[in-house]
Amino acid sequence: MMKKPTIGVLALQGAVREHVRMIEGCGARGIMVKYPAELHLCQGLIIPGGESTAIGKLMQAHGFLDEIRSLVLAGMPLYGTCAGLIMMASRLVEGDQPLLGLMDITARRNAFGRQVDSFEADLSLRDVEEAERPFRAVFIRAPWIEEVGRHVRVMGEFEGRPVIARQDGMLVSAFHPELTGDERVHRYFLNMVEELSGG
pTM for this prediction: 0.95
**pLDDT per residue over 83-105, tens digit each?**
999 999 999 998 788 999 999 99
Q: Check: CB of residue 22 under 8 Å from CB of residue 57.
A: no
Angstrom CA distances, 176 to 48, 75, 135, 137, stand at 8, 24, 11, 7
**Domain range summary for the chain, segments of one domain joined by +:** 6-197
Catalytic residues: 82, 176, 178
**pLDDT per residue over 34-90, tens digit each?**
999 999 999 999 999 988 889 999 999 999 999 999 999 999 999 999 999 999 999
Q: Which CATH superfamily groups domain 6-197? A: Class I glutamine amidotransferase (GATase) domain (3.40.50.880)
